[in-house]
Amino acid sequence: MTTQHQMVFPQDLKYSKDHTWVRVDEDRATVGITDFAQSWIGDLVSIDLFEEGCEIKPSSLFGILETSKVSFELYSPIGGTIIQRNHKLREQITLINDEPCEGGWMIVLRMMNILDLTSLMDANTYKDYIKSWGYVEEEDR
């Protein structure tokens, strides 16, 4: 797949091979899907996130995204306890497509183990990774 969307890769995020991102603030970690993922998935119709208080392990399911044709499972890049869900997404699911790395965040975790972050990629490494998925940078076209 080659995309025409001008994607963003915030440098303050860590990225997983499952196309989720993490923004860390002390022992709290905000999680969402990458701009590349939302572009690949397309227009969303609904999201179902695990409840606050649920404990999840790295690479475990934390929710489901739905388009009009297919569902996508969401896997957490790190372990922790869900302490907040983005309730705005119920009424404004388009935030995920419009602002995937800001207003389209999905959950906030209280991290279990900061070492979970060591398996994640920085923005430049993630960009290299998604080239195998067909991503072409603007200047490469």
Q: Would the pLDDT of 3 be above 70? A: no
Q: If you average pLDDT over residues 116-134, what whole number do you get?
A: 94
Domain presence at residue 68: yes
Residue 53 has which token pair? 């208080």
pLDDT value at residue 11: 97
pLDDT band at 136 (very low <50, low <70, confident <90, very high): confident
**pLDDT above 90 for 129:** yes
Residue 126 pLDDT exceeds 80: yes
Residue indicated by tokens 């372990």: 79
pLDDT category of residue 2 using cuts at 50, 70 and 90: very low
pLDDT at position 132, please?
85
Alpha-carbon span 110 to 73, nearest angstrom:
21
Q: Which domain holds residue 85?
A: 14-113
Cα–Cα distance measured from residue 86 to residue 30, given in angstroms and rounded to the nearest whole number: 10
First to last CA, the chain: 14
Instruction: Establish if 23 belongs to a structural domain.
Output: yes
pLDDT at 101: 96
* Residue 64 resides in a domain: yes
Residue 18 lies in a domain: yes
What domain count does the chain have?
1
CATH number for position 46 = 2.40.50.100
